[in-house]
A and B are shown apart, each in its own frame.
Chain A
Amino acid sequence: QVRLVESGGGVVQPGGSLRLSCAASGFSFSNYGMHWVRRAPGKGLEWVAFIWNDGTNKFYGDSVKGRFTISRDNSKKTLYLQMNSLRGEDTAVYYCATELVVVAGSTWGQGTLVTVSS
């Protein structure tokens, strides 16, 4: 079945870096644009970044622009989020999700927790 599994979360000090991965299975990964979305404790959903299916275009939310980089390896069916210069306000559960398409809808992973703390 269609599945997304995030990994790479953990505890990191302010100013540190972390790379998240999202492994896809059960669908044609290279046909879908992909998102990263996060939810900080006590807050709502925040869209983080989006990448086209072929990786040629990338878009970022203002709060992460210049610090985070979204990328993908279609041969490995894997999405990545490289997070640099991490701040306390980046503490959140990070989800990967497929772009929304008619009928198929949008699939989300279970999320991975990133905690930025000294």
Chain B
Amino acid sequence: DIQMTQSPSSLSASVGDRVTITCRASQVISNYLAWYQQRPGTSPKLLIYAATTLQLGVPSRFSGSASGTDFTLTISSVQPEDVATYYCQKYNSAPFTFGPGTTVHIK
């Protein structure tokens, strides 16, 4: 099965900082990569799909990029409401594995 890794596992940033989270697939998954945000006490929310496509209604400070089996989620100017855990997920075929998550804190 394809494994998904993420780094870092957590980070602390100041409001307005640029934040980058990386996800790596152990094998080629084309661009079948999604990013989810889960705020404390809430359900996961889809941010980006097809590695780079912003879901409707998601703020434009979120963006995604891809290079081979490496994927990146960037928050261009982090805001207090972005405190959450972020997960990547492969969705080309089963098993639909999630990465272990990256928790974003605000300093």
Contact = CB atoms under 8 A, between A and B. Distances in A.
B43 A110 contact: yes
Contact of B46 (A44, A59, A95, A105): A105
Contacts of B43: 95, 108-111
B98 A47 contact: yes
Interface in A97-116: 97, 99-100, 102-103, 105-106, 108-111
Given A50-B94, A105-B49, A111-B43, A44 B100 contact: yes
A95 B95 contact: no
B101 A62 contact: no
Given A105-B55, A105-B56, A46 B94 contact: no
Interface stretch (B14-22, B60-68, B74-82, B84-92): B84-92
Which bracket fits the contact residues of A? Answer: 20 to 34
Given A44-B100, A45-B44, A109-B43, A100 B34 contact: yes
Given A44-B100, A45-B87, A62 B55 contact: no
Contacts, number: 55
Interface of B: 1, 34, 36, 38, 43-46, 49-50, 53, 55-56, 85, 87, 89, 91, 94-101
Nearest to A35: B96
B98 A44 contact: yes
**Main secondary structure on B side of the interface with A:** loop
A59 B95 contact: yes
Nearest to B42: A110
Contacts of B98: 37, 44-47
Contacts of B55: 105
A47 B100 CA distance: 12
Given A44-B85, A45-B44, A61 B95 contact: yes
B50 A102 contact: yes
Contacts of A44: 85, 87, 98-101
Given A44-B85, A44-B87, A103 B95 contact: no
Contacts of A106: 34, 46, 49
